[in-house]
Each structure stands twice: as structure tokens, then as C-alpha cells.
Structure 1
């Protein structure tokens, strides 16, 4: 009697796709996009090179998915702190900023991946679109938190504030990820909170971002 051949379900398909993306990310982290060849990705993921085409039309499409996952992952970590945050607009903003400026978001591997994809982004319009989507996702989250603050500002000012605050966070993230030993524990968070607060006319440094509540007496 011939044994039944294994039938792949949607979970199997998703797992294989995830394995290919993870393999691409690992290879880019090790040596940049040039090291992430179809053969190398297949070998790292434990599949045949031809199977990659079943999930991604081109290697470039796979690398775009890998880049999007890296960016989305960092945003999700920052967003996760809001699930248990108090109903206090300043505290929620402070927690979001602080989470964006500490591990695992501040991470030399993540920075290396971003830098590795940067060259391809300049040459690939679809990669650029993936970058824009990730940037806007984070900035929109930040803008929403700023909009909840007790301030009377118009839409243009709100947008400008979100862009400025995002730029501060991006710059500190880059330096902290590139030179992790150059900063004391919690230093980037405090600098970020001070700078973002200065832009918005608030003092966010009086909020306890470790316990997720405003400090007593502040």
C-alpha cells in the first residue's frame, strides 16, 4: 500500500515563507544584500533554490519582505508598551519614545540590516516604497500620541512636530545602535525624552518610563 504523501496546509506555507525571510535577514546581517544569494538563502532555510520562486517572484521581492519585517518588528516593540500603559497622554508618549531608544529596538544587528538595505533602497523603487510604509507607520503612531496631548495646535503644526520628534528618535537610535558602549544605561532614553519634550513644550523626563506611571509629586 502506498503511503499518503504529506499535504502542506496554510500553516506549512506560512512557516516556509517565514523561514525564507529569516534566512535572508540572517545573511544580510552577516554580509549585506550581496551575500543573500538565492542559493545561500535556500541553503540557510533548508530548501531547494527553485522553491523560493514559489513564494517570491524574485530575490528582490524576498529582500523587500525581509526589510519590511525588520522595520515592522521594531515598531511593534515600541507599540507593545502601550498595551499596558496608563490612560495618561504624556505617560503614553514617554513610554513609546523610551521603548524606541532601548534594546531590543536599539540594536547593532538591526542597524546593520538597515544599512545593508540602504543601497538597494536607492536603486529599487519598490524597496523605497517599503521603507516609506515603515516610516509612515511609525510616524503616524507617534503623531497619534502627540495629538492626544493637551495642546491646541493645528494639523500642520501637529504633522511638523511628529516629523521633528521622529527625526530625533531616528538619530539617537542610529547612534545608539552603532556605538552601544558609548552611552550609559538609560542615557539615550532620557536625552530622547528631553528633546521630544522640548519640541512639544512639555517635560517628559518627570515620567517614570520603567513603571509606566507618572512619578509621585510630579
Structure 2
């Protein structure tokens, strides 16, 4: 068997899984959970319905995998902006990325609303929600700890936890409003509000003097 053939055989299942996940995300964003049926998913992915059970234990398992993939992408898009620099600058970039495209996006809000409908009644979805929420919050908490330490303030674990929860709540609220009603805000307004608000909670200037 050639190397090309081995590569194709190995990657084909991964490609089909990715196609099924993409189909779920498209359907959930555009039509909602009720219309995200096995047949609709298979048709959107260009595969037979049996391929869902071949690559996932159930439709619910596939939907949960799609939710996990979506949330991981959101976190990755925020982290991608970190780059080099001092701790305050890295925190500023993380907050900014969390409040600007592609993280802020009407489609992402539609997906959040569709999946949230399922989280309370599906234990696996709830576990995914908890894991991804904590992954983002823990990343934020680490950046906050570093920025405060850089400014000469060593915060204890309990204080850092409270600050991360509060800052995350500010970011989430602004993200939601910007995604639902993007036309209600002028360019850069949500980002600036987020930087000013998070900075105020932490006692740090993240907005560079913006009011």
C-alpha cells in the first residue's frame, strides 16, 4: 500500500466526521434543534444516514461533538490573538478578541441559543458546557493573575476566581448583545466597553485611556 493510499484511508473517517459536525452546526444555526434531524444532517453532509451511527454512537453524540467543536473554536479564536508582549497586553488582546469578529458573530449567537436549549436536559451536553466554560474562564483567570502580578498585586486563588467569574460575565453579556444586535453599536464600541469594564474590575488600564 502506498503512502498516499495509507494517508487517504486514515484521513477519510476524520473528514467524514468533520463533514457531519459542520452539517450539524449549519443546521443548528439556521433551523434550530427541531430541524436538525438525522436525515437533514446526512443530506447536508452528503452522506447516508447510516454514516452517523458509523462515526458516532448516536445523533446525540454527534450533536454534542458539534457543540464541543464550536466552543473549542471560539476559545481558540480568542487565544490566537495573545501573541507576545507583557501580561497586561496579552490580557487586553484576549478580551479584545473575545469581543470582536470572528468570536462575535450573529451565527455564533444562534448556535449558542440552539445548544443552550439542550444543555439542561442532556447530561452529556451539560458536561461539555461546563468543561468549555471552565476552559475559557481558567484561561482568563491565568491571564488576570499574570497581569495583576506584573502590576505588583499578588491575588489569592479565591480572589482570582471571583475576578475571573465577574470579568467573564461582562464579556459574555457584551458578546451576546453585539451578536444579537450588531447594528446597535458603532465600530469598536463593544470592544472598548469590554476593555474599560474588565479593567475597572481589575484596577488595570486595559483600554489605553479610552472612556
| Partner-residue secondary structure (3-state), 2:71 | helix
Could you say which residue in structure 2 is the equivalent of 1:170? 172
Aligned alpha-carbon RMSD (Å):
1.5
- Please give the alpha-carbon distance, in whole angstroms, between the structure 2 residues aligned to 1:99 and 1:63: 26
1:183 equivalent to 2:179? Answer no
Could you say which residue in structure 2 is the equivalent of 1:138? 136
Could you say which residue in structure 2 is the equivalent of 1:75? 75
Could you say which residue in structure 2 is the equivalent of 1:96? 94
Q: TM-score, normalised by structure 2?
A: 0.92
Gap change, CA 1:48 and 1:207, over 3 Å in 2: farther
| 8 A Cα contact 1:38 1:59, kept in partner | yes
| Partner-residue secondary structure (3-state), 2:34 | helix
| 8 A Cα contact 1:91 1:207, kept in partner | no
Could you say which residue in structure 2 is the equivalent of 1:213? none
Q: How does 1:2-81 map to 2 (within 5 A)?
A: 9-81=9-81
Q: TM-score, normalised by structure 1?
A: 0.89
Query: Residue 9 of structure 1: CA displacement?
Result: 1.5
Q: How does 1:113-132 map to 2 (within 5 A)?
A: 113-132=111-130
- Please give the alpha-carbon distance, in whole angstroms, between the structure 1 residues aligned to 2:80 and 2:57: 33
Could you say which residue in structure 2 is the equivalent of 1:214? none
Q: 1:46-72: per-residue Cα shift (whole Å, max 9, x none)?
A: 111011101111111111011111111
**More contact order relative to length (CA 8 Å, sep ≥ 6):** 1
Could you say which residue in structure 1 is the equivalent of 2:158? 156
- Please give the alpha-carbon distance, in whole angstroms, between the structure 2 residues aligned to 1:182 and 1:73: 26
Query: Residue 85 of structure 1: CA displacement?
Result: 2.9
Gap change, CA 1:140 and 1:102, over 3 Å in 2: same
Gap change, CA 1:72 and 1:137, over 3 Å in 2: same
Q: Which runs of 5+ in 2 are unaligned?
A: none
| Partner-residue secondary structure (3-state), 2:11 | helix
- Please give the alpha-carbon distance, in whole angstroms, between the structure 2 residues aligned to 1:48 and 1:207: 56
Q: 1:156-176: per-residue Cα shift (whole Å, max 9, x none)?
A: 001110111001000000000
Gap change, CA 1:207 and 1:52, over 3 Å in 2: farther
